[in-house]
Amino acid sequence: MTADRVAACPFLCRRGRLLVLLVTTRRGGRWVLPKGRFEEDLSQRQVAELEAFEEAGVLGRAHGRAGSATVTVGRRTLRLAVYPLEVKRLLRSWPEAGERRRRAVAVDQLESIAIDPGWIRCIRRLAQLRCIDCTQAGLAMCRPAPLRRQVQGSAARRRPTKGLP
């Protein structure tokens, strides 16, 4: 697949749960991953790191192989090369802080927010690869999210993650 843009998929682990950091679009307020155009003097990984910094205030390292996503932006369909990004630090201020909001969401709760299904599929694939890569490298990885118990025949309440944990 030839990509139109490059995106970063910033992962972080809090309280044993794997989270992805999302940002809003400038105009519509929809939740997306940080993305941008190719830059002549930068590699795709460097573009992913730069976009994560500019749009989400994330300092981190893009690693592993790129995933792919096809998402709808307005009337266009974009093909993206998406790099998993290990979040090292979240900044309090960043270049686009006044234009966007950011939010950490548990990977298993992505359906609870308004996000393109193409993003969800890509994030889930990269989350699985991330855990495999961590295991093979001998790194500590997040424990899987606990399954919610059924309480008197109804599902336990699901609360979306608000802000950063």
Q: What is the pLDDT of residues 62-92, one digit of tens each?
A: 988 888 899 987 788 989 999 999 999 999 9
In the chain, the domains with their CATH numbers are 5-146 (3.90.79.10)
Asked if residue 1 has pLDDT above 70, the reply is: no
Mean pLDDT, residues 6-25: 90
Note the helical H segments in 84-144. Answer: 117-137
| Percent over 90 (pLDDT), the chain | 49
Max CA distance (Å), the chain: 59
pLDDT confidence band for 41 (50 / 70 / 90): very high
What's the predicted TM-score (pTM) here? Answer: 0.77
